[in-house]
Structure 1
Amino acid sequence: MLTCGMENFVVSARKYRPATFDTVVGQEHITTTLKNAIKTNHLAQAFLFCGPRGVGKTTCARILAKTINCHNLTPEGEACNECESCTSFNQSASFNIHELDAASNNSVEDIRNLIDQVRYPPQSGKYKIYIIDEVHMLSSAAFNAFLKTLEEPPSYAIFILATTEKHKILPTILSRCQIFDFNRIQPQHIASHLASIAQKESITAESDALDLIAQKADGGLRDALSMFDLNVTFSADRTIRYKEVLDNLHILDYDYYFKLTDQLLTGDLTQSLLTLDEILRKGFDVHQFVVGLCRHFRDLLVCKDQATVQLLQVTENVRRQYLEQSAKAPMSFLLSALSIGGQCDINFKQAKDQRLHVELALMKLANLRNVLDWNTLPTTAPSEAPLNGAEKKTAYHRLTEANP
């Protein structure tokens, strides 16, 4: 029998859904523009919110709808949360705000019903707002039926369309909308938001663990909150630990890539193959490992120059490790390693024995030390005079031997 505590659980993505523009994470360029439009009464009749999933499109659409109809806007351009319009919105009982999910209501008939509703002005409040989610799912006939209304909407109607696939929307629709492109949310913003939720919920969380969740979420806050809930549920003492997050989300730790690169730099083929075996025995996908290793080489390469270190999206502790290993790795090794790793990735699907295919790539990588004549090569990008013809030929032969 379920206890009351279990019945009352609300997932973090719903419990901490932003209710004002100021609480939206990582989309300041959009929230500032919308607040200014409301304050100066420069509202478009149709908005199109585009961007990847879980970054706040529908949330911003709801906040915009609520704020437009608020009777007592704050000086900052936020909804008061107390007037009749705000109260009815908070209780999901507003007659002025209509939501349509185009994924399941994509026929001409559904759009005709919506157009019929648009004809009637609002009973109270200034605007009737129509939020159409996943608008790219509308059939072309439904798009055409919707076009006339979007072209000449009544003064009290505002349309807010949301989509993850802008390229699927007709140009005639796009030209009639004010388009807002939502960004993937930066990992540091996600981690900081998770830390504030952990504090509110009296959850202890290691900062490295939250950073790992933020990296894995790939810019989607909703995904990050789902992973956060999973790890809280796993922990009996309400503590989120780095090692447990690695296991729960099945992530290959950075340490493996650092260890393997050290082994390749010293030409230790035996330990390299044993490290690969350990990774595979832990159940990690061998193709994902190849992609991760190429990514690791790329990150080491961007550490070679102070101007590009900012492209590294990792925690301070991991950044320090990258800078240390990058100083030890010659530029020529990293370029050749990226070439070998890229070829391994491209040909992976065609390989009959995929493990052997990856092991062969590791053999080539471990042999780069002998091929490239380590001691005569600089560890950073060379700035001296260009090579003469004979030197170019020698360098070319070395690289082609390294990357057959």
Structure 2
Amino acid sequence: MSYLVLARKWRPRDFESLVGQDHVVRALTHALTTQRLHHAWLFTGTRGVGKTTLSRILAKSLNCEAGITAHPCGKCAACTQIDAGRFVDYVELDAASNRGVDEMTQLLEQAVYAPTAARFKVYMIDEVHMLSGHAFNAMLKTLEEPPPHVKFILATTDPQKIPPTVLSRCLQFNLKQMAPESIASHLAWVLEQENVRFESLALRLIGQSASGSMRDALSLTDQAIAFSSGDLTLESVRSMLGSVDQTLLVQLLQSLYQCDAPQVLEVTRRLSERGLSLRAALADLAILLSRIAITQRVGTCELEDETVRDAVQHLANEMPADLVQLFYTVCVHSRQELAQAPDEFAGFVMICLRMLGFVDSLVDPQKKSAPLKTSQPVESSKPTGLASTAENTERLSAPASGSTVLETPDSSTTPADPTPSLVAATPVHPVPPSDASEQEKSAEDFVGVAIREAKDTQLFRQDAPAPGKSNDQARLSSGAGLTDPSDLQSGVNLCGRKCLRPAHRRHIQHIRMIRQMHHHRSHRLMMLDMMRCCHLSLMIMVRTVCFRGKMPRR
């Protein structure tokens, strides 16, 4: 006898053995128990989640010799022949190869005849979205009012391509992708029946690689059994799948945090020499960073691998939360840039160097060279951080030679020192004085540049305000006091409800919030990119206000 693959050998035979589709099983079981049977069902979902299996179980429940039941016996002629695929009154049609109107017309002509040896004649049309438009139109009338002995079961992986007229005639059930835990549990049961040794972490890795498909998981298990000679270990499965070793990613992250550029390049070379996909490594690094961020908030790490769990817990205690979020953002957004790089290795190296650049700006140089150890909470009364913040505020307020002096908020309205809760929550790290002053000053100049450019192009009204104008109107017309982003609220008061959209008002609120956060030293370089994002929208907003203010009313 030829070998039968695991996906076919261990196909579920009843509703109880079906994995991961409890919501569909519950609905069909109640319908069969109460005899409230629809004439057409539509099963949707990705490949390998149980659409064909559900169709066969439902056909057995309808035609079992014990009667219409949610628990078919599996021993009668109808049940055994349906499982074997040779039951005369159960027809499976592949719409991908029978998509024309002629094939559909032939099927509908046969449907009018009574079943040969069963209670119902069941037609299962797989990949129904592949039917042509004329074929869908030909089956509409029969699908709406079929003969009492006919049941239709439709299955598809792309329900958006099915016409609404067909969807409205069916009961639609969306089959979910299966969780890796459910897949690993089912694989463990299958391998126990097959007397194959395995490691739980290896099955977990197969479950993650299956992407929610049980058939893919069973096919990968067949491949793993052949690859490892009947002994499924974590190393053999990882080598077969070509997945990235988590310990290498932990080493890469530790090297990035310690600002050890040679070690970062060494780990990257090791990843490349093993033939691993660096794009997949970047995705796994983002997942690892998300687990670190969750551990920082929750306090515990729920990973089965003890080595990786201890390393994640250690990094969660050491790395600042804002740095973790920054690394995660770089990993997610750099995946698109990696496809445009000259080669994958060069692109991955540049992404790592970009992360190192953020570490240079956000982490204490003494802490970079020091080994990782348990972190201590930052006290709110740390004098060095507050002193550096005050010195930097004074340096920003001093005008540079050849530059336009900007109006700065009064110290009474904008506190120089951050609140104690903010200092305790976010460590205050010193910033290299060479570049920080220019970058921070350019961040504050963005708003002023937008206002000055609008004034230089004479978009503001230069005439004197009328006697009946309010203070806000006078300040906007004269252009006075507009270097402070908080004064942009004057524009909202003047023509906001008629000239400014809600999105522009939100830009003003965001800039005011960014300006307040900008006074906290540890956030300044992170706020720089946010200010750049708002710059273009702010210039468009100011010009829109001025143009609309000069246009005559009709």
Deviation at 1:390, TM superposition (A): 5.7
Tell me by how many angstroms 1:389 deviates: 4.6
CA contact (8 A) 1:65 1:129 kept: yes
Query: Secondary structure, in 3 states, of the residue corresponding to 1:303?
Result: helix
Q: Check if 1:12 corresponds to 2:6.
A: yes
Q: Which amino acid aligns with 2:91?
A: H
Which AA in structure 2 matches 1:24? L
Residue aligning to 1:399? 526
- In 1, Cα distance between equivalents of 2:272 and 2:84: 51
Higher RCO, 1 vs 2 (CA within 8 Å, ≥6 residues apart): 1
Partner residue of 2:57 out of 52, 59, 63: 63
Counterpart amino acid of residue 112 in structure 2? R
Amino acid at match of 2:294: V
- Secondary structure of 2:339's match? coil
More moved, 322-331 vs 59-68: 322-331
Give the structure 1 partner of residue 37 of structure 2.
43
The alpha carbon displacement at 1:400 in A equals 5.9
Long gaps (5+) in structure 2: 368-374, 379-418, 424-512, 533-554
Distance 2:217 2:304 in 1: 16
Return closer, same or farther for 1:16/1:283 CA change in 2, 3 Å cut-off: same
CA contact (8 A) 1:209 1:242 kept: yes
Match of 1:139 in 2: 132
Compared CA separation, residues 92 and 345, structure 1 to 2 (3 A): closer
- The offset of 1:334, in angstroms, is 1.2
Query: 1: CA distance between counterparts of 2:327 and 2:336?
Result: 14
Distance 1:274 1:400 in 2: 32
Give 1:264 deviation, angstroms: 1.1
Q: In structure 2, what is the equivalent of residue 384 of structure 1?
A: 421
Query: Deviations along 1:127-150, whole A, 9 cap, x unmatched?
Result: 111111111111111111111111
Distance 1:142 1:221 in 2: 32
Displacement after TM superposition at 1:170 (Å): 0.7
Cα distance in 1 for partners of 2:377, 2:157 equals 46
Q: Distance in 1 between matches of 2:165 and 2:317?
A: 53
Q: CA deviation at 1:48?
A: 0.6
Tell me the distance in 1 between the aligned counterparts of 2:323 and 2:193. 48
- Compared with structure 1, are the counterparts of its residues 330 and 150 closer, same or farther at alpha carbon in structure 2 (3 Å cutoff)? same
Contact map agreement 2:264 2:352 (CA 8 A) in 1: yes
CA drift at 1:343: 3.5
Which runs of no fewer than 5 residues in structure 1 stay unpaired? 1-6
Conserved 8 A contact 1:61-1:131: yes
Which of 279, 284, 301 does residue 287 from structure 1 map onto? 279
Q: Which of 104, 110, 120 is the equivalent residue of 2:103?
A: 110
Give the C-alpha shift of residue 401 in structure 1: 6.8
Secondary structure of the 2:297 match is coil
Superposed displacement of residue 388, structure 1:
9.2
Distance (whole Å) between structure 2 residues aligned to residue 372 and residue 395 of structure 1 = 7
2:338 to 335, 343, 348: 348
How far off its partner does 1:86 sit?
1.8
1:294 Cα deviation (Å)?
A: 2.3
- SS of residue paired to 2:326: helix
Aligned to 1:372: 362
- Pairwise CA distance, 1:55: 0.8
Match of 2:122 among 125, 129, 146: 129
Q: Residues 388 and 203 (structure 1 numbering): CA distance in 2 closer, same or farther, change over 3 Å?
A: closer
Q: Secondary structure at the match of 1:231?
A: helix
Q: What secondary structure, in the 3-state scheme, does the structure 2 residue paired with 1:384 have? A: helix
Question: Amino acid of the residue matched to residue 114 of structure 2?
Answer: P
Alignment partner, residue 162 of structure 2: 169
Does the C-alpha gap of structure 1 residues 377 and 294 become closer, same or farther in structure 2, counting only changes over 3 Å? farther
Moved more, 297-306 or 116-125: 297-306
Aligned partner of 1:303: which letter?
T
**Cα offset, 1:269, TM superposition:** 1.4
Give the C-alpha shift of residue 28 in structure 1: 1.2
Q: Say if 2:187 is the partner of 1:194.
A: yes
Secondary structure of 1:219's match? coil
| Residues 368, 402 of structure 1: 8 Å contact kept | no
Alignment match, 1:4:
none
CA-based RMSD: 2.8
Of 45, 67, 72, the residue aligned with 1:79 is 72
**Whole-Å Cα distance in 2 between the matches of residues 250 and 356 of structure 1?**
20
- Which of 259, 269, 273 lines up with 2:261 in the alignment? 269
- Summarize the Cα distance change of 1:119–1:384 in structure 2 as closer, same or farther, 3 Å threshold: farther
Whole-Å separation in 2 of the counterparts to 1:131 and 1:356 = 51
Contact 2:32-2:68 within 8 A present in 1 as well: no
Q: TM-score, normalised by structure 1?
A: 0.89
The count of aligned residue pairs is 391
Residue 500 (structure 2) aligns with: none
* Post-superposition CA distance 1:233-287 (Å, at most 9, x none): 1223x21111010111111122121111111111111101110111011112222
Does 2:337 correspond to 1:210?
no
Q: Counterparts of 1:49 and 1:183 in 2: how far apart (Å)?
A: 11
Instruction: Supply the distance in 2 between the matched residues of 1:258 and 1:66 (Cα, whole angstroms).
Output: 51
- Aligned counterparts of 2:175 and 2:84: Cα–Cα separation in 1: 27
- Tell me the distance in 1 between the aligned counterparts of 2:267 and 2:345: 13
Residue number in structure 1 paired with 2:234: 242
Q: 1:217 to 1:87 in 2, by over 3 A?
A: closer
Amino acid at match of 1:243: E
Distance 1:322-1:65 versus aligned 2 partners, 3 A rule: farther
Deviation digits for residues 197-221 of structure 1, max 9, x if unmatched?
A: 1111111101111111111111111
Change (3 A) 1:357 1:82: closer
User: C-alpha offsets along residues 165-195 of structure 1, whole Å, 9 cap, x if unaligned?
Assistant: 1111111111111111111111111111111
Whether 1:335 aligns to 2:325 is yes
Report if aligned partners of 1:194, 1:225 keep a CA contact under 8 Å in 2: yes
Aligned counterpart in structure 2 of residue 178 of structure 1, from 171, 183, 200: 171
For 2:421, what is the secondary structure of its paired residue?
coil
Change in Cα spacing, 1:120 to 1:73, as seen in structure 2 (3 Å) is closer
Q: By how many angstroms is 1:321 displaced? A: 4.6
Worse-matched range after superposition: 116-125 or 43-52: 116-125
Amino acid at match of 2:54: C
Q: Which has the larger radius of gyration?
A: 2
How far 1:122 moved relative to its partner? 1.3
CA apart distance, 1:8? 2.3
Partner of 1:362 in structure 2?
A: 352
Of 122, 125, 141, the residue aligned with 1:148 is: 141
Residue 353 and residue 186 in structure 1: after superposition, are their counterparts in 2 closer, same or farther (change >3 A)?
Answer: closer
Q: Select 2:297's aligned residue among 296, 305, 316.
A: 305
Following superposition, the deviation at residue 100 of structure 1 comes to 0.2
Secondary structure at the aligned position of 1:21 is classed as coil
Deviates more, 1:46-55 or 1:392-401: 392-401
Partner of 2:428: none
